[in-house]
Structure 1
């Protein structure tokens, strides 16, 4: 119960932070990756422990049972698929996201959990850093997500402002990948792109969390009543929602 509560708390904070993320405040992305990866890792490890409990009637006695995966979310997802395989085909389990964008997201999140979370410290201390996880997210996940957008926002008004002010105003800022923004048109376009990416990224990560949670809940339902396992859905009902509702959410805390 304590572990499920902690995982739920981390997921809630992480997803809410990701929903607020934007190019001007990368702290929201860093915070989102940090909390979300912790929460997701704990849910999947909890599912592995519950799987052992159902299979053998006891919790694993080897303390390294779940720790053998370390922070490798990619490996944990494979392990979770093995737990899913223990369930009936018609079990009440949400489908896992798939596709190139999803694979890129998982790769980035896994790398962040394993070491890229120290990117800023590495830069400050002179260690050869990994790629900035925020820039990498926008490049490998954000730009492909933007390609799925049905309608490109009109920023003609910002171009008009640029024409009016001419060279009387100097703008010097960077986009989500670290590239330069030097006009009102650039800022307007990046603002709208950033909002779209944040919304779709949150939905993608929420679907992955929902899948992991549903596997955990379904596997726990197969346990003997003597196992003492709690009703895990109580800790995660803010995420066990239909797509249409989940996509609209901006907060995920119970």
Structure 2
């Protein structure tokens, strides 16, 4: 808690770096760092390097969880004039991102209608994406270890992402795919003189140049559109956090939260162009 002297200085409009201020700043910084790292990994994920998907899911889900829990903490502060003291407050939702997103929706319901909040993507993509990401955060992040050690396994998270999010994204694609006749011609010319052995994200065998070219095109498209989808989900949660932060009483000093998330508070066209999410 703040001392009377700190309280007096805050009321006079001077920023005091209280322990609470530092903790909120560090947590917002960590959330931003994790989100940006996760999205950068997902943007370059591909069928031949599937470990990049896992790394992307790890960082992104950690960052998204922390943003949404920060929104709930700030909401509590606005409603009660103090930070929560119940140890179980932040643990109530665990790693269940779907429940946290519902909590964020509840926070949004208390915002002024004029507050600038970025909308979620359409439910037909947000719902399966959040379900897959939530299950990853809860348990399927251990999928490989679970299978290796004989535990009842969840679904392969990369397979699930590509099947439930990637394939629908591909089905929505309006522009024609790049011509891969060159790959078919190469298969005919080389024949059995070359051995190719990979799997796509959903386990389809890649054993020809044509299959490899098709898989590469699909991976790149899903990486671009899937990362954009995740960035928009994060932007929504961040915008609720920032808007609720503006309602914190002046008697309680918090960081300017938007400073940690500037890169996300931009248009769709800007987010879609991002590959490294640096900044």
Provide TM-score, normalisation by structure 1. Answer: 0.98
Deviation for aligned residue 1:124: 1.7
User: CA–CA distance in 1 between the matches of 2:123 and 2:82?
Assistant: 37
Structure 1 gap segments, 5+ residues each: none
Provide TM-score, normalisation by structure 2. Answer: 0.89
> Which position in structure 1 is the counterpart of 2:215?
190
Matched, 1:63 2:87: yes
User: CA–CA distance in 1 between the matches of 2:141 and 2:246?
Assistant: 35
- Which contiguous aligned blocks of 4+ residues in structure 1 show a shift greater than 4 angstroms? none
User: CA–CA distance in 2 between the matches of 1:101 and 1:152?
Assistant: 22
User: CA–CA distance in 2 between the matches of 1:43 and 1:239?
Assistant: 12
Task: Please report the RMSD computed on the Cα atoms of aligned residues, expressed in angstroms.
Answer: 0.9
> Which position in structure 2 is the counterpart of 1:153?
178
Matched, 1:107 2:131: yes
> Which position in structure 2 is the counterpart of 1:73?
97
> Which position in structure 1 is the counterpart of 2:269?
244
Q: Deviations over 1:151-170 (max 9, x none)?
A: 22211110110111122223
> Which position in structure 2 is the counterpart of 1:124?
148
> Which position in structure 1 is the counterpart of 2:118?
94
Q: Which aligned pairs between 1:1-254 and structure 2 lie closer than 5 A?
A: 1-150=25-174, 151-254=176-279
Native 8 Å contact 1:18 1:202 kept in 2: yes
Q: Deviations over 1:71-97 (max 9, x none)?
A: 110000000000000001221111112
User: CA–CA distance in 1 between the matches of 2:236 and 2:52?
Assistant: 24
User: CA–CA distance in 2 between the matches of 1:63 and 1:97?
Assistant: 33
Native 8 Å contact 1:9 1:253 kept in 2: no
Secondary structure of the residue aligned to 1:247 is: helix
Q: For structure 1, which segment, 118-127 or 241-250, has the greater mean C-alpha deviation from structure 2 after superposition?
A: 118-127
